[in-house]
Amino acid sequence: MSYRAQITVAASAGFCPGVKGAIDKVLELAAAGRSPVYTLGPLIHNKQVIETLEEKGVRAVKDASEIKEKGATLVIRAHGIPPGLEAAVRALDLNVVDATCPLVKRVHRNIKEWADKGYATVIVGDADHAEVVGLMGYTGGRGHVVSGPEEAARLPRLEKANIVAQTTQGTDVFLRTVEALRPNTGELIVSNTICAPTRERQSETMELSRRSGLVIVVGGKNSANTARLFRICAGLAPRAVHIEREDELSPELFDGVSSVFITAGASTPAWMIEKALARARELTEIHRSPLAAGLEFLWLLLVTSCVFTAAGAVALAYASMRLQGLPISPAMLALAGLFVFSLHLTNRAAEKGAAVPDRAKQLLFVRFGRTTRAVALLAGVAAIALAAGTTGTLALLLTAFFWAMGMLYPYKMPLGLDALAKFPGSKDIMTALGWAFVCAALPALAWGSLAYKSSQLAVVFAFTLVFARSVMFGISHVHSDMIVGNENFYKAAGPKATYAAVLSIFIFMEAILIALKNMAWKEPLVNAMIAGMFYYLGLMIFFYFRRMPEKTLAETLIDSQFLILAGLVLVS
């Protein structure tokens, strides 16, 4: 596709580490389910994210007195609070959890250290901002808030002062304020407490805004750091706009513009940025034919509806049957596709993700939501019916069991089984178990060959490959700032352990396949599988070293590995 304008997205855009940490903490508490979870004020300044957290049972209160449940969990939000207020809420019958950004805590310590030595504190920031209110509590009653050099010049003479910055303050404003304060201060300690992510974001924004005809700043209208970012852009670019939603972009904005820069505040999730990017592309695309638009929507619909994922399951089932030396059964292939389609579509319908769904999600889960859920249910029933006609009683019962567990996973499960959903990496493990069963174990049971080593190898192969697939999906979701918890292996284990795990899977699978090749066991088939695994390796390297592709493209790339593997096996 070609566009009238070159569109660049800031590499630093999206959640900052402090915001990510606060969201992770409340999600873990909500998942534990031991008590209601409240935050003292909105966790971050982003309406869409707050709405998503509310869907997961996390509520914001203005004052701790609003909480009536004894033993409820109260989370101190990322901006921090004054020490007096913290002491007061900790004295209540509540489980208080501190989610203050570590970089804000560093400013608390800095202010207290110099205040204890008798220094007055000058804070460069927004007086009404939650972070600044918290910082003032550490000044020992000798604090002053100024918005810039003009207000600093009007302060009374200070014999000893420590000047700090709100962590998201503009560097230029802070430095000019320091210089304005010097003439009227006896001894001035300069503590540049602007956080590193903010400095990086502002530096990139200034550089690219100067080179762009239009700057789009994405983020909450009540976010101070986003508003500050917009002011920087508006002063450097010919045209700048601050939006919360992609539908605020109009065609007129792009008239005569050859370069567009998209950036965002620290409390803006990546999925909001992706939607703004998609809308900008749509409005700047040249000669977009109805056929091209239709094909693009069809691709989006196939991926979003999990039809593409179901095709991947059929492909894996085919490769697994070939590996076991079993006859290729159309019924078993259909069973695998229907089973995976049913569970993945059900789970997707239950997702609490982006507050503004794309066109495909709007069609499938809003306009025809009930129909979509009914289709998912019927697909599962059809899979079990196929199992009844092609397998024994044990295999049928196992199929029904795995399907029921998968259907109940997103919801409150009976008999305490919902504890499974709280186990770190549970979603990836359960997904891999379900796929391995229908794609490899069930065909073996149907032909009475599960005792053979080739069948056991196929089950292990399918499980590890699907586990890696699910983990890579988790990486994509986290990098898109989707609201996920520790059921996601990447979120639970962290980046280093996750990439070490997926690399180990590749080495493990290749070692087995090479050993089989050296034993001259089904050599053409093994050669095809060895080659197919390198797509998996390439995908892992791409995810590690490159900026993560948008969610639909990432899903297409990940599930294509099964289709490529089946294609190689077919021609072997």
Instruction: Give residue-wise pLDDT tens across range 476-511.
Output: 776 665 555 566 777 777 778 888 888 888 898 888
Residue 353 above 60 pLDDT?
no
For the segment 453-457, the average pLDDT, to the nearest whole number, is 84
Supply the DSSP symbol for 252: G
pLDDT digits (tens, 9 = 90+) for 21-62: 888 888 878 877 767 899 998 888 788 788 888 877 889 999
Q: Which residues are catalytic?
A: 131
pLDDT digits (tens, 9 = 90+) for 512-563: 888 888 877 777 888 888 888 888 888 888 888 766 677 788 889 999 999 9
Closest-CA residue to 571 (of 519, 532, 520): 532
Closest-CA residue to 410 (of 48, 59, 56, 73): 56
pLDDT of residue 347: 85
Per the CB < 8 A criterion, the answer to whether 259 and 236 are in contact is no
How many CB atoms neighbour CB 154 within 10 A? Answer: 9
pLDDT digits (tens, 9 = 90+) for 198-244: 888 888 889 999 999 999 999 888 888 888 889 999 999 999 999 99
Residue 354 above 70 pLDDT?
no
pLDDT of residue 479: 65
Supply the DSSP symbol for 548: P
For the segment 150-156, the average pLDDT, to the nearest whole number, is 94
pLDDT digits (tens, 9 = 90+) for 136-149: 999 999 999 999 99
Distance (Å, whole) CA 320 – CA 316:
6
State how far the alpha carbon of 405 is from the alpha carbons of 144, 398, 402, 417, in Å. Answer: 58, 11, 5, 9
Residue 306 above 80 pLDDT?
yes
- Edge-to-edge, what's the strand order for the sheet holding 185-190? 143-146, 120-124, 158-165, 185-190
- Edge-to-edge, what's the strand order for the sheet holding 240-243? 6-9, 259-264, 214-218, 240-243
Per-residue pLDDT band at 421 (split at 50, 70, 90): low
Residue 112 above 90 pLDDT?
yes
Domains belonging to the chain, first-starting first, are 6-13+197-288 (3.40.1010.20), 18-101 (3.40.50.11270), 104-194 (3.40.1010.20), 297-571 (1.10.600)
Distance (Å, whole) CA 10 – CA 201:
8
pLDDT of residue 355: 43
Closest-CA residue to 217 (of 48, 209, 78, 256): 209
The encoded tokens of residue 81 equal 């609070």
**pTM of the predicted protein model:** 0.71
